[in-house]
Structure 1
Amino acid sequence: MKVQLIANLSANGELILAAQSDAYQAPQEVAGMGFAKALECGNIIMGRTTYQMFAPMMKDVLKNLEVVVISSEDMDADVYTAKNAEDAVSYLEKKGFEKACVDGGTMTYNLFLESGLADELFFNLFPVVINGGGSMETAQGKVLEYRLAEAKSHGDIAMLHYIKK
């Protein structure tokens, strides 16, 4: 299974999180890339906090996806609750999916990076400097290498696609 990680980043490398929307509003056509990728894959993997934030306002989109929430506590009956990244991928593989779409938040991104499961990275790089967005990290001493597959722009926003080496 190919695992695609989709994230919005600031110019200083911080993740731009939905919780920061009061401070910065990313253009919808670019910020919504995660949900567009999820629709392509037919599924979406999110952490509990991200799911709880988006579920009420994104019901129409989420009902068309196989939703996996990574959490230590059981979630809604209409989503699969995975305990870790490997469990999420295994569940989607058993359901017949060829790609998995990881779309937030910080802890979920890091679980996939630490486990080495992120095959592709899709980043929107926004021309803002922020604080408090968190960062993507691997396990201590672990290095993951990717190569640039595509770079394009949308106004001042760089849209980057990396593939694992």
Structure 2
Amino acid sequence: MKTILWATLTANGNYAQSSPENPPKKEALDDFAAQAKAAGNFVVGRRTFEGMRGSGGPGPFADLDIVVVSKHASDIQGATVVRSPKEALSYLQQKGHQTVLISGGADIHNSFLEQGLVDELIFNVTPVVEGKGLNLIADRENYRCQPVQLLDCKPLGGGVVQLRYAMER
């Protein structure tokens, strides 16, 4: 099963922190929707899922398998809750998925990376520089450089550039 980590980054490499003053770019959101629909699923953390739901309801992803990785939540309407990245992958594999989209937050991304569970990276780089932010950390305990292979680079519009990399596992 192929695992794809999808993230929106700022031009200076931080996770893009959306806010009312800095809303997510439409091009990045459209790309996420397309990637999620192609995979038929996505994996997020509890806070990211709650932020996506906004006012509630099934939203545009009602027909997808949504998996929330959380050590504290047990029942979240509209999603399957699991305790670990490996449990998320096992669940989606049992459901017959060939591709898994790992889509957020920083803790979820880093936990999949630390465990060596990512095959591909998709970074949508937005045209903004932020003074603070969260970073991808592939191995927090033992920093190491991990080479990746560029698969594709393309503009999505609105100044957003998508970089796609293969990772060795």
> What TM-score do the two structures reach when normalised by structure 1?
0.90
Q: Which amino acid aligns with 1:83?
A: R
Shift of 1:76: 1.5
| Displacement after TM superposition at 1:84 (Å) | 1.1
Query: Is 1:68 matched with 2:63?
Result: no
Q: Distance in 1 between matches of 2:128 and 2:135?
A: 15
What stretches of structure 1 of length at least 5 have no aligned partner? Answer: none
Query: Any idea what SS the aligned residue of 1:93 has?
Result: helix
Work out whether 1:100 is the aligned partner of 2:100. Answer: yes
- 8 Å Cα contact 1:123/1:161 also seen in 2: yes
Counterparts of 1:1-165 in structure 2, within 5 Å, are 1-17=1-17, 20-56=18-54, 59-73=58-72, 74-139=74-139, 140-141=141-142, 142-153=144-155, 154-165=157-168
Note the C-alpha offset of 1:146.
1.4
The CA RMSD measured in Å over matched residues stands at 1.7
Q: Secondary structure at the match of 2:131?
A: coil
AA partner of residue 158 (structure 1): V
Q: SS of 1:39's equivalent?
A: helix
Gaps of 5+ in 2: none
Percentage identity across aligned positions?
30
Write the distance in 2 (CA, Å) between the matches of 1:163 and 1:123: 12
Moved over 3 A (4+): none
